[in-house]
């Protein structure tokens, strides 16, 4: 089948710029656009959250679907030139705020019902029907919220093929058997080779067990999740299905993250005018009340404050290096204990360490442009986006060798065998505060070698992280399935 004849139904639970809690929304907002530009006929299907309906023009009514879990209204809207089908039900349309969590930061108690209902709607729309003018060849599902779709479609003859993308295996949508039974889901799917998972039922296992193709958001993460360390209990099944498991690195929005045109930063610059980057450093130092000094290495962090992200390692490494000449600009929110420890550090060294708690889009761009080194020592990182943003801005990432970080950052070894023509950052081999402090020292030493530093910056800025590149890999996967 020629790619121009491929019809893809892209099922997701968040979509930039309409509804976002993390990187999943960015992928779902960018990949369909890149597919469309490459000639793929793609449509998106999304829950009709109140927050979405409040933002978009009144959508067009399409149909009323009577599903096992209730009746939903399907409406059509558009994002740029792509049709978006919205699944409207009181469980989505009458609930403000986060799509998964209440104001008390607890999961909505009916999440299993909500996303089982959404999955049923996706399946009903995807099934072959003589009444439809558009028929999906492939349903592309994303994370646990759509994990039931491949399982449910497996029960229908002539159903379209399915792709299941794992963005983060740690979030699985696991529920009790009693709750599964209350949802009146097919009993025959609740088996060891199906949805049953250690005495529970698992939404994400539905995608892993029943999809025609499984992929993750980086090649290294695809390998990692077949191991006990990263497999989150699913490693046995993933090893069993390894033949259809692959990793495709995410892209980034090259227009939003471009130092040549970025409206949020003090001075625009390029790989050929890297001396102008220093003006952004001085601007950031001034804004954050850090000592204005272009010769002091400025480390940047933009992160959820969580152990997974290695924030505790950063705190410990800074304590070990308190007598070194460097600065830190950190923007993030999350774990209150980590936040308190960071506040103690910034209070002790106010001219060297600035911590801003919360999220500020403009400041995140200023940190990417103004920092010299971006710290990202995650314990696991399926893909990661900030290391790619950093490369775009000539800011060298210092990362742990996991997931997409391992696939994008080439370590500068700093010895006689170092290949400065390839290196674009610094890499440590495990999530360890001592290793991180050594990595920071290596970065500080490298910063003093201006010719080497410039070479590494230019290497970083040459990387191709376009969604067009990522989309080409997805298209080849679709074509393989269709063939």
Convert the pLDDT of each residue in 444-468 to its tens digit.
999 999 999 999 999 999 999 999 9
**Whether residue 277 is found in the same domain as residue 130:** no
Instruction: Using the predicted structure, report yes or no on whether residue 2 has a pLDDT greater than 60.
Output: no
How many residues does the structure list for the chain? 483
**Whether residue 62 is found in the same domain as residue 170:** yes
**Whether residue 435 is found in the same domain as residue 304:** yes
Q: What pLDDT does residue 296 have?
A: 97
Could you tell me the pLDDT band of residue 323, with boundaries at 50, 70 and 90?
Answer: confident
The answer to whether 428 and 389 have CB atoms below 8 angstroms apart is: no
**Whether residue 330 is found in the same domain as residue 441:** yes
In a domain, 262, yes or no: no
**Whether residue 35 is found in the same domain as residue 184:** yes
Could you tell me the pLDDT band of residue 371, with boundaries at 50, 70 and 90?
Answer: very high
**Whether residue 168 is found in the same domain as residue 301:** no
If you average pLDDT over residues 425-439, what whole number do you get?
97
Percent of the chain scored above 90 by pLDDT? 92
Q: What pLDDT does residue 421 have?
A: 86
Secondary structure element (H or E) that encloses residue 47, with its range? strand 41-47
**Whether residue 241 is found in the same domain as residue 311:** no
Q: What pLDDT does residue 130 have?
A: 55
In a domain, 318, yes or no: yes
Q: What pLDDT does residue 443 have?
A: 97
Structural domain harbouring 121: 3-251+467-482
**Whether residue 380 is found in the same domain as residue 424:** yes
Q: What pLDDT does residue 271 have?
A: 96
Q: What pLDDT does residue 417 have?
A: 61
Instruction: Using the predicted structure, report yes or no on whether residue 261 has a pLDDT greater than 70.
Output: yes
Give the helix, strand, coil percentages of the chain, each rounded to 5: 40, 20, 40
Instruction: Using the predicted structure, report yes or no on whether residue 75 has a pLDDT greater than 50.
Output: yes
Q: What pLDDT does residue 429 have?
A: 97
Q: What are phi and psi of 210, to 5 degrees?
A: -115, -15
**Whether residue 207 is found in the same domain as residue 106:** yes
Q: What pLDDT does residue 468 have?
A: 95
Q: What is the CATH classification number for the domain harbouring 332?
A: 3.40.50.2000
Number of domains the chain contains: 2
400: nearest Cα among 329, 317, 327, 298: 317
Convert the pLDDT of each residue in 8-35 to its tens digit.
999 999 999 999 988 899 999 999 999 9
If you average pLDDT over residues 115-144, what whole number do you get?
91
How does the average pLDDT of the chain come out, rounded? 95
Q: What pLDDT does residue 272 have?
A: 95
Could you tell me the pLDDT band of residue 285, with boundaries at 50, 70 and 90?
Answer: very high
Convert the pLDDT of each residue in 94-124 to its tens digit.
998 899 998 887 899 999 999 999 999 999 9
DSSP 326-357: EEEEEEEEE-HHHHHHHHHHHHHSTTTEEEEE
If you average pLDDT over residues 237-259, what whole number do you get?
96
CA distance 239 to 307: 27
Q: What pLDDT does residue 4 have?
A: 55
CA atoms lying within 13 Å on the CB side of residue 203:
29
Using alpha carbons only, give the angle 392, 393, 395 rounded to the nearest 5 degrees: 110
């Amino acid at each position: 089948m020629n790619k121009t004849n491929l019809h893809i139904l892209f099922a997701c639970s968040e979509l930039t710029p309409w509804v976002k809690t993390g990187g999943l929304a960015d992928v779902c907002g960018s990949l369909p656009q890149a597919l469309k530009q490459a000639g793929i006929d793609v449509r998106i299907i999304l829950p009709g959250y109140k927050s979405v309906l409040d933002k978009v023009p009144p959508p067009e009514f399409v149909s009323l679907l009577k599903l096992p879990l209730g009746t939903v209204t399907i409406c059509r809207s558009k994002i740029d030139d792509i049709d978006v089908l919205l699944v409207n039900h009181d469980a989505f349309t009458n609930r403000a705020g986060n799509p998964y969590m209440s104001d008390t930061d607890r999961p909505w108690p009916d999440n299993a019902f909500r996303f089982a209902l959404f999955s049923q709607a996706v399946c009903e729309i995807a099934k072959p029907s003589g009444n439809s003018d558009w028929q999906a060849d492939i349903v592309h599902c994303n994370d646990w919220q759509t994990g039931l779709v491949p399982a449910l479609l497996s029960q229908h003859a002539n159903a379209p093929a399915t792709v299941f993308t794992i963005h983060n295996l740690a979030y699985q949508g696991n529920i009790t058997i009693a709750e599964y039974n209350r949802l009146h889901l097919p009993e025959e799917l609740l088996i060891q080779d199906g949805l049953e998972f250690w005495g529970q039922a698992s939404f994400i296992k539905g995608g892993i067990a029943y999809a025609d193709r499984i992929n993750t958001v980086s090649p290294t993460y695809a390998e990692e999740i077949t191991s006990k360390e990263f497999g989150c209990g699913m490693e046995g099944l993933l090893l069993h299905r390894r033949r259809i498991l692959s990793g495709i690195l995410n892209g980034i929005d090259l227009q939003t993250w471009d130092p040549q045109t970025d409206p949020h930063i003090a001075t625009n610059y390029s790989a050929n005018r890297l001396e102008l980057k220093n003006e952004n450093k001085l601007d950031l130092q001034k804004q954050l009340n850090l000592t204005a000094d272009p010769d002091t290495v400025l480390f940047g962090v933009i992160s959820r404050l969580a152990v997974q992200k290695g924030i505790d390692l950063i705190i410990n490494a800074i304590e070990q290096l308190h007598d070194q000449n460097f600065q830190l600009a950190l923007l993030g929110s999350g774990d209150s204990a980590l936040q308190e420890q960071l506040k103690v550090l910034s209070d002790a060294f106010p001219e060297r360490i600035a911590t801003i708690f919360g999220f500020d889009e403009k400041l995140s761009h200023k940190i990417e442009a103004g920092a010299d080194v971006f710290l990202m020592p995650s314990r696991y990182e399926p893909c990661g986006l900030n290391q790619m943003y950093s490369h775009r801005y000539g800011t060298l990432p210092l990362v742990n060798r996991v997931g997409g970080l391992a696939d994008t950052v080439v370590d500068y070894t700093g010895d006689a065998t170092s290949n400065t023509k390839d290196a674009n950052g610094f890499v440590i081999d495990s999530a360890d505060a001592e290793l991180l402090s050594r990595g920071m020292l290596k970065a500080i030493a490298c910063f003093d070698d201006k010719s080497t530093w410039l070479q590494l910056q230019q290497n970083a800025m040459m990387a191709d992280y376009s969604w067009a590149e990522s989309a080409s890999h997805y298209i080849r996967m679709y074509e393989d399935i269709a063939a």
